[in-house]
Structure 1
Amino acid sequence: MYTLNFDTVKFTREYWQKKPIVIKNAFNEFEDPISADELAGLAMEEDISSRIVQTQSQGWNVVQGPFEDFDEYGEDGWQLLVQAVNHWYPDSQPLVEAFRFLPDWRFDDLMVSFATPKGGVGPHIDNYDVFIIQGEGERRWQVGDIGNHQQRGGDKSSPLVDDFEPIIDVVLTKGDVLYIPPGYPHCGETLTLALSYSIGFRAPSQQELLTEMADSLIDNNLGKQRFTSTEEVANKGLVSQQQQQGMMELLSQLAQDPAQYQTVLGKLLSQNRFELDLNPFEQAISETDIIEAIEDGANIQRIGGLKVLKLEADNQAQLYVNGEVVSVEGIDAEIVAMIANEHFIEQAILSTWRQQPALMTLLTQFINQGWYYFSE
């Protein structure tokens, strides 16, 4: 179990998306949820996103996984990073749970890194919020102020930025946490063999929102309203400012109509950037099978990384799961909220649900999709 030692309400009020902070001893007696060998094993899998960053005299070299072995990289100057470890390694989920004082829709993934001395990824800026939790070993972190930072070497495609003047310069040890909001340059250097955990939170961009909205309008044959005006000024090749604003008002109307945007948001925010460890049954099971499993003492567990979201003030009886719309018609609102909020539903609660056909149908769908599974 992982329990944070700081006031999350104060943190959210004073630091969240405002400024970076170092929280020493954020966890008491922190234990690494995964070992370096287990992390290396995940990096050998085809479906899991991983990379090695080598520190070189002229910069950093990135090698994409999967990997067969690591001997060629030597004893120092490199770092292994594995994305979405919470999708593939259930024992890491309790660490994620500690940060659920922030909403699930923002949560991106748990990235785990194993770094040798002098290993790092270079100075860079992220477009998302990140908590860096130090496990075994020590790493020095520098964080600069937000500002106009140039990409390293003038390379516009590079994620790296030029060296910066630090406003934070700290050595993290086991159980320490460094929080960095979007836009702040930062750089880590490994001092001893180290395991680190990065919990990222991101929000959709304008590009993502517009793309999702356009796709929805096209798929559903909507959004056909055209711009009209009662006055035309004969200025030949000129498009008046009033007309420009009138055309853009068509988009504003979509953004003000919940029936147009809620499903778009639900689908977008419940998607994952990384593969999920889906485990559907080879042969579909029935509602009767679900009821029998519950009677035999089964609990139901959500797979790692799966987002199950409910939109406030959504007049449509639906949940959004992994980018899909799922009907919850006929299911009590409190139960729907529990399904959205809880990763684990114990047998004692499931037993009270057995006589509700719509609910049993929903759980059957979840398990047949591989989104949930029976657990002891």
Structure 2
Amino acid sequence: MYQLTFDTQAFIKKHWQQTPVVLTQAFEDFVDPIAADELAGLACEEEISSRIVVTEANQNQWNVIQGPFEDYDAYGETHWQLLVQAVNHWYPDSQPLVDAFRFLPDWRFDDLMVSFATPLGGVGPHIDNYDVFIIQGEGERRWKVGNKGDHKRRGGDENSPLVEDFEPIIGVVLKKGDVLYIPPGYPHCGETLSLAISYSIGFRAPSQQELLTQLADSLIDNNSGHQRFTSDSEALEPGIVSQEQQQGIMQLLAELATQPEKYQTMLGKLLSQNRFELDICEGEEPLDLEELQQVIEDGASILRIGGLKVLRLENDNISRLFINGEVFALENVTEAELVSFANTVNLDNELAATMFDNLAIAELLVELINQGLYYLAE
């Protein structure tokens, strides 16, 4: 169990998406949920996203090698860092650490990245477009965080996250249990002082590009969005688009945001998807309702696979859940039951038995288990 020591609601009001902050001993008596050799083992797997960043001797260049990795001897004892994405998808013992940050909504959560770093290892000064909590496990790392501003991209590459050196507003050595929170847009850089394991819990929101792309696809799929611009006056010059008409045309998009039937399904599907592959847990033979009822009566619990998002939309006019980019309509299910299903990661035996009393939820559980998105546990 991982319990944060700071006031989460005060943090949201004062720092969330506003200012970086060091949260000293945010976890008391912190225990690493994964060991370095176990992390190295995950990075051997083809389906798991991993990379090694090697810091060149002059520390002005960082070379990235994409995984999977079979051997680490070639990298030596210093100046490199292994990073493994979505560890919570593949290593269930890391889920309790993720759960500690569920004071923020699940739709924002991206993944748990875990890194193992040798002395003088790092990834260089960079800027992220998402919120991140950096949790220090074993070892120590020195972090610098700069202020927002017009930071030059390293090497003049505007597509690179790396930036030129910056003036720090935070300089700190993180020790086990310390947390550094960094909002989007703040340059930061970490340097390893001793063999260290760090955990990065990222939170991401969709961009305008992503929203418009998904909205356009949704309108096409549903043969919707046919309204065209009209006006009762025209410009006097034939070769001009008036400011009024520019705004009127773009207002067509703004109007879609006032029509939930146009965007809610798209939004629920988009926000419940994962960027990284899930560890699907399909059984050898599909279950039916009677078989699932029997195993629940025998004491089984029902658990979500790591990283799975189960979301509902406030003020949705349809009784449904959004799970892994799909829509699951649920008639004759109460709001309280939807809330419980969406908020509960692990259905213990008592809760599973209670939910199974509702036929619609029982059928949903069978479907999700057979899809490998939930699984049975003793």
Q: Same fold (TM over 0.5)?
A: yes
3-state SS in 1 of match to 2:115: strand
Moved more, 322-331 or 38-47: 322-331
Moved more, 33-42 or 290-299: 290-299
3-state SS in 2 of match to 1:353: helix
Structure-2 separation of matches of 1:72 and 1:221: 56
Displacement of 1:23 in angstroms is 1.1
Q: 1:297 aligned to 276, 296, 299, which one?
A: 299
Residue 269 of structure 2 is matched in structure 1 by: 267
**Residues 42-88 of structure 1: CA deviation (Å, up to 9, x unaligned):** 00000000000000024100000001110100000000000000000
Residue 189 of structure 1 is matched in structure 2 by: 191
Q: 2:130 aligned to 128, 131, 139, which one?
A: 128
Residue 278 of structure 2 is matched in structure 1 by: 276
Runs of 4+ with deviation above 4 angstroms: none
**Residues 341-371 of structure 1: CA deviation (Å, up to 9, x unaligned):** 0101111122223332212111111111111
Residue 14 of structure 2 is matched in structure 1 by: 14
Q: What TM-score results when the alignment is normalised by the length of structure 1?
A: 0.98
3-state SS in 2 of match to 1:4: coil
3-state SS in 2 of match to 1:61: strand
Structure-2 separation of matches of 1:126 and 1:157: 12
- Provide the aligned length of Structure 1 versus Structure 2: 376
1:167-182 equivalences under 5 Å are 167-182=169-184
Residue 157 of structure 1 is matched in structure 2 by: 159
Structure-2 separation of matches of 1:8 and 1:353: 30
Displacement of 1:241 in angstroms is 1.6
Q: 2:346 aligned to 327, 344, 352, which one?
A: 344
**Residues 270-293 of structure 1: CA deviation (Å, up to 9, x unaligned):** 110000001123432211111111
Structure-1 separation of matches of 2:278 and 2:258: 33
Structure-2 separation of matches of 1:323 and 1:276: 12
Residue 364 of structure 2 is matched in structure 1 by: 362
3-state SS in 2 of match to 1:68: coil
Displacement of 1:219 in angstroms is 1.2
2:209 matched to 1:207?
yes
**Residues 120-163 of structure 1: CA deviation (Å, up to 9, x unaligned):** 00000001000000000000000011111010121222210000
Displacement of 1:233 in angstroms is 3.4
Displacement of 1:252 in angstroms is 1.0
Moved more, 286-295 or 267-276: 286-295
Residue 318 of structure 1 is matched in structure 2 by: 320
Work out the percentage of aligned pairs sharing the same amino acid: 66
User: Structure 2: which 5+ residue stretches go unaligned?
Assistant: none
Structure-1 separation of matches of 2:211 and 2:163: 27
Displacement of 1:234 in angstroms is 4.3
Residue 374 of structure 1 is matched in structure 2 by: 376
3-state SS in 2 of match to 1:212: helix
Structure-2 separation of matches of 1:153 and 1:356: 60
2:63 matched to 1:61?
yes
RMSD: 1.0
For 2:126, give the aligned amino acid.
H
Structure-2 separation of matches of 1:370 and 1:61: 37
Q: What TM-score results when the alignment is normalised by the length of structure 2?
A: 0.98
Structure-2 separation of matches of 1:352 and 1:175: 38
User: Structure 1: which 5+ residue stretches go unaligned?
Assistant: none
